[in-house]
């Protein structure tokens, strides 16, 4: 499966915090890129950098799970975002609520010579009331310290109590080289404009200035892999990121994808296993590794992984991606590339993965999404093992979760056929055909002489 680029400009954060009313519950936070209210557009990188680094810092808090988001340009377009000029906050709040945000962070900055003034507002999406505000001023050269202050203000406003270790981790920066940081943020900006060659150029400049800039390696590797189809170059970058930070789960995840793409399946499994060790509550990691086991014919291991994914995704009110630094929003695309569904949590680009036509603009939780497909995947293995009753049970669950699941109807029809339950098989294949399955139509003709 494809994963999402680590650049964070707009994102959701899931964290147990106290609501303004004082009740203890999970909150989703969306950070909007900070606006440049000066006339110098060359300083736009500061606003993008504040959002990105603010997010990177608060994800260090144990109660917070940061979920990155792909297709940022589509969201920014909806709120008509520009780095200079006013953000339509009313629209932003409405869209944020649609995507499950409870709190939105709006910010702006002003450059005055070497000085930088930053303001931020934390807004409750439900009530549209301002929870708190923060304003800081300092030198541009001290931008990381200023970002620390905003991060601590946000966490304090949400009544999150930090331990000393967390406080120190928040203060850790991705690089101490301000120029390298600037090139990295500029690389993110052009990446979202799909100027991939320019993004590679900028990320490379960042790396040249700081050879231990792990996020820059990841960012460049992502483009090499997913857009340039240069898996060897991507693997080299991911490996360098891992050398800098051996606990970088996202690097193992992406390198595993690159290995899988090169059919180096056992190396992919090794990386996915390390990913799971670092993020044991990540259901999708089990799902992806299970797919490789299935491909290799290691069905028992695949079933074990799929079962673990189902168990994790079935926990009530539980984010099945665990503590991974991943996206909360992605699109399921049709084979023609048309946007078909909005998913509120996810960690991979589905464009070259399972291509399923969902109703236009359907919105649903990713824990539900993973169950729809893992049940189907596990059931397919049961069919290979001739465990048809177990397969039918899983297909039933997949269909209950998504009544338009073409593959589940088709495959359940196969299981019924294998059991000699022809009427049920015909019914399922007709349903699959109604949903677009040409293979189901062919089977109806081949096995039952039914033109449908």
272-297 pLDDT, tens digit each? 999 999 888 788 889 999 999 999 99
Domain presence at residue 243: no
Which of 157, 172, 187 is a domain's end point?
172
Mean pLDDT, the chain, as a whole number?
A: 78
Q: 40 Cβ partners below 8 Å, 6+ apart?
A: 111
Domain presence at residue 150: yes
pLDDT at residue 346, rounded to an integer: 35
Q: 69 Cβ partners below 8 Å, 6+ apart?
A: 4, 8, 10, 11, 12, 75, 327, 328, 329, 330
CATH classification of the domain holding 199: 1.25.40
pLDDT at residue 71, rounded to an integer: 33
Residues of the chain with pLDDT under 70: 1-28, 58-59, 61-86, 95-101, 316-367, 369
391 and 411 within one domain? no
Asked whether 317 and 28 are in contact (CB, 8 A), the reply is: no
Can you give the pTM of this predicted structure? Answer: 0.72
Full domain range(s) for residue 426: 405-452
- Alpha helix ranges (H) inside 32-83: 44-58, 72-78
Asked whether 199 and 187 are in contact (CB, 8 A), the reply is: yes
Asked whether 344 and 366 are in contact (CB, 8 A), the reply is: yes
Asked whether 252 and 271 are in contact (CB, 8 A), the reply is: yes
**Number of domains, the chain:** 4
Please state, in angstroms and rounded to a whole number, the distance separating the CA atoms of residues 253 and 238.
9
44 and 155 within one domain? yes
Domain presence at residue 31: yes
Domain presence at residue 273: no
> CA angle at residue 244 from 243 to 249, to 5 degrees?
80
Which of 401, 429, 444 is a domain's end point?
401
452 and 372 within one domain? no
Residue for token digits 């007709």?
Answer: 430
Domain presence at residue 247: no
Q: What are phi and psi of 380, to 5 degrees?
A: -60, -35
pLDDT at residue 322, rounded to an integer: 36
Residue for token digits 């001739």?
Answer: 386
CATH classification of the domain holding 363: 1.25.40.10
219 and 91 within one domain? no
């Amino acid at each position: 499966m494809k994963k999402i680029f680590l650049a964070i400009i707009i994102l959701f954060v899931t964290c147990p915090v106290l609501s303004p009313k004082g009740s203890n519950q999970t909150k989703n936070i969306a950070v909007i890129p900070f606006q440049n209210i000066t006339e110098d557009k060359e300083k736009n990188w500061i606003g993008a950098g504040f959002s990105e680094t603010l997010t990177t810092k608060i994800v260090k808090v144990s109660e917070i799970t940061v979920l990155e988001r792909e297709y940022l340009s589509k969201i920014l377009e909806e709120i008509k975002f520009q780095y200079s000029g006013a953000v339509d906050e009313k629209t932003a709040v409405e869209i944020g609520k649609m995507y499950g945000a409870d709190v939105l962070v709006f910010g702006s900055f002003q450059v005055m010579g070497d000085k930088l003034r930053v303001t931020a507002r934390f807004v409750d999406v439900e009530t549209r009331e301002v929870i708190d505000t923060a304003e800081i001023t300092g030198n541009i050269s001290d931008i990381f310290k200023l970002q620390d202050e905003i991060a601590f203000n946000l966490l304090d406003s949400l009544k999150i109590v930090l331990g000393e270790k967390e406080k120190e981790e928040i203060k850790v920066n991705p690089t101490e080289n301000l120029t390298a940081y600037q090139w990295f943020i500029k690389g993110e900006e052009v990446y979202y404009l799909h100027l991939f060659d320019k993004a590679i150029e900028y990320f490379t400049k960042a790396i040249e200035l700081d050879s231990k800039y792990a996020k820059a390696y990841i960012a460049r590797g992502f483009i090499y892999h997913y857009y340039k189809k240069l898996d060897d170059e991507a693997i080299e970058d991911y490996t360098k990121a891992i050398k800098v930070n051996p606990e970088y789960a996202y690097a193992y995840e992406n390198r595993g994808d690159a290995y899988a793409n090169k059919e180096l399946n056992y190396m992919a499994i090794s990386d996915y296993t390390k990913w799971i060790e670092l993020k044991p509550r990540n259901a999708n990691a089990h799902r992806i590794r299970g797919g490789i086991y299935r491909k290799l014919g290691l069905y028992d291991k695949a079933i074990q992984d799929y079962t673990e994914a189902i168990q994790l995704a079935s926990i009530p009110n539980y984010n099945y991606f665990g503590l991974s630094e991943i996206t909360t929003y992605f699109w399921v695309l049709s084979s023609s590339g048309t946007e078909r569904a909005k998913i509120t949590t996810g960690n991979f680009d589905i464009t070259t993965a399972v291509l399923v036509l969902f109703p236009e603009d359907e919105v649903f939780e990713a824990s539900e999404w993973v169950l729809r497909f893992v049940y189907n995947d596990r059931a397919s293995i049961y069919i290979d093992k001739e465990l048809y009753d177990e397969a039918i049970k899983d297909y039933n669950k997949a269909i209950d979760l998504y009544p338009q699941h073409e593959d589940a109807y088709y495959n359940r029809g196969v299981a019924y056929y294998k059991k000699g339950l022809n009427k049920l098989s015909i019914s399922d294949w007709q349903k699959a055909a109604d949903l677009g399955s040409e293979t189901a139509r062919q089977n109806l003709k081949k096995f039952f002489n039914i033109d449908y």
